[in-house]
Structure 1
Amino acid sequence: MKEIKKRAFEFLSQFKSCNMVTITRTGEQISHLVQRNDEEHHIIRADGSYVISPYRNKEERNERIKELSDRYTQDEIAQIMNVSQSTVSNVLNGR
């Protein structure tokens, strides 16, 4: 058990923030992790699989928002991406 805790700590210490949401409609649990060293954002499911590819900047973030729009509502995307719903709307409407 001590080794498992050590590995978990080592894994989590590479991230500077973690936001976990549960999509009410589906029950899906999704985490938004921001890597400490290069600010890379990772959006992963509870099972460890990626929801979308990692991104590093605003342009890439906006592309990921567009990718999510065929599977999730604007409110769900805002929760997943840790942005406001109005940001999601602006990206999707090209503003």
Structure 2
Amino acid sequence: MDDAMVTGRMPADKKTEGNAILGQAGLNASQAVNLLYDRLIEEHDAGFLTERTPSANEWKVAARFVDALAAPEPIETPFDGMTRGEIKLHRFLTREQG
């Protein structure tokens, strides 16, 4: 298979910093680009490149929304306040009557 050249432009300081990080991982820019293309081909989608973490403000808005949801009212039952034994006795007596 013939190799093809991929060219991209970026600020020099970004390249220097990025290459240093890749070097720490034992990679060079060509290997990183190949890994990127491998993932693009595997997933048939570039969505992973555009995914982002919500901002702090977006988290606050979401938290306010969740906090604003009303908690459901507790359901009252005839068993409230009874011990487990009292509940069993109540069910036994009710069953006997029915």
TM-score (norm 2): 0.24
The structure that is strand-richer by fraction is 1
Higher RCO by CA contacts (8 Å cutoff, separation 6 or greater)? 1
Larger radius of gyration: 2
Structure with the bigger percentage of helix: 2
